[in-house]
A and B are shown apart, each in its own frame.
Chain A
Amino acid sequence: GAVVSQHPSWVICKSGTSVKIECRSLDFQATTMFWYRQFPKQSLMLMATSNEGSKATYEQGVEKDKFLINHASLTLSTLTVTSAHPEDSSFYICSANYGYTFGSGTRLTVV
């Protein structure tokens, strides 16, 4: 079955720094990937749709300059949280437009 690999699984960073999260499709090509954010004891909220070779589409209320998305190849999408603040601490999860498969998530803690 389709496998989506997400890295890192957890990261701790200082306020003001940037963090990059990778999402890879291991055995298929993903023209579209999705990035979600999940706060503790809450559901997943779609942040943006990542399209290979073009600009990402962001959901209302998500700052595109803060959450930079790059989808440079058919197997890799990256989410960079720029100038991170403690309120950005969350569980970030990606998925691909194939098989409804999700990555294992990245726990980001900003201190």
Chain B
Amino acid sequence: TQLLEQSPQFLSIQEGENLTVYCNSSSVFSSLQWYRQEPGEGPVLLVTVVTGGEVKKLKRLTFQFGDARKDSSLHITAAQPGDTGLYLCAGEDDYKLSFGAGTTVTVRA
């Protein structure tokens, strides 16, 4: 069983601060994805990383994929209350996803 571990489980910060969420896998997936989910809704894809060492930026969000393709991080710069949500990493094999436990991020105004 391929396992994804996310840390921290909860994160509460003040608006304007930075935060980092980590995702570590016990094995290599075809790709790794980050999602954001709001209560009562399905997860929304933020980014897909495929290549070891890859760095992708999406406005204030920066995603890194480890060289060994087993670990990834999501960094948010100058967090805003709108960034509040559940952040999930997922490893993909043939469109089948294994999710991490998620990190609940709360950004206080």
Chain B nearest CB from A77 CB (Å) reads: 14
Sorting the interface of chain B by its residue count into under 10, 10 to 19, 20 to 34 or 35 or more gives 10 to 19
Contact of A34 with B40 in the complex, beta carbons under 8 Å: no
Cβ of B99: which chain A residues have Cβ within 8 Å of it?
43-45
Contact partner of A42 among B44, B98, B101, CB < 8 A?
B101
Main secondary structure of the interface of A (DSSP, over half): strand
Could you mark each residue 71-99 of chain A with 1 if its beta carbon is under 8 Å from any beta carbon of chain B, else 0?
A: 00000000000000000000101010101
Check B106 for interface membership: any CB of A closer than 8 A: no
Contact of B88 with A100 in the complex, beta carbons under 8 Å: no
Using CB atoms and an 8 Å cutoff, list the residues of chain A in contact with chain B: 4, 6, 9, 32, 34, 41-46, 49, 91, 93, 95, 97, 99-105, 107
